[in-house]
């Protein structure tokens, strides 16, 4: 994966298979970093692309981050693609806000990157 620090958030990108893009995001997705994450994801969200957001190294997911996930899910579907969110098997920084906002009923979630790539 190539890595870049975008406005205080570390974003690494890889294309493990044709039509699949993985963005591994580490740090926090809060009001200060949500737009940077959105921009990084939208750059890679082409027609028919399966975008896998690996949030397993995230330490904080705020309401602005939840909004980014919702928007990316809509954008992926509009482009005949898919969004898969890797939560990390026990990462409460991601699992808790996703469950509290009922986004676990909307988003396609995977506990690990391996599971996401196999789905």
Confidence check: pLDDT of 45 > 80 = yes
Tokens of 61: 């997911």
Q: Is 48 exposed, middle or buried (0-12, 13-18, 19+ CB in 10 A)?
A: exposed
Task: Give me the number of domains the chain comprises.
Answer: 1
Q: What is the pLDDT of residues 81-112, one digit of tens each?
A: 999 999 999 999 999 999 999 999 999 999 99
By CB atoms closer than 10 A (0-12, 13-18, 19+), residue 87 is buried
- How many alpha carbons fall within 13 Å on the CB side of residue 33? 21
d(CA 75, CA 7): 23
Angle among Cα 18, 10, 55 to the nearest 5 degrees reads 65
DSSP 16-63: EETTEEEEEEEEEESTTTHHHHHHHHHHH--TT-EEEEE-TTEEEE-H
Domain residues for the domain of 27 are 2-118
Assign 9 a pLDDT band (cuts: 50, 70, 90). Answer: confident
CATH number of the domain where residue 15 is located? 3.30.750.24
Whether the model clears a pTM of 0.85, i.e. scores above it, the answer is yes
């Amino acid at each position: 994966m190539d890595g870049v620090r975008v406005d205080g958030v570390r974003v690494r990108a890889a294309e493990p298979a044709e039509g699949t893009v993985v963005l591994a995001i580490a740090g926090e997705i809060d009001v200060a970093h949500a737009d940077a994450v959105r921009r990084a994801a939208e750059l890679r969200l082409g027609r028919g692309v399966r975008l896998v957001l690996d949030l397993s190294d995230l330490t904080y997911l705020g309401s602005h981050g939840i909004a980014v996930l919702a928007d990316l899910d809509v954008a992926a579907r509009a482009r005949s693609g898919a969004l898969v969110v890797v939560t990390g098997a026990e990462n409460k920084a991601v699992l808790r806000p996703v469950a509290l906002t009922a986004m676990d009923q909307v988003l396609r979630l995977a506990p690990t990157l391996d599971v996401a790539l196999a789905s």
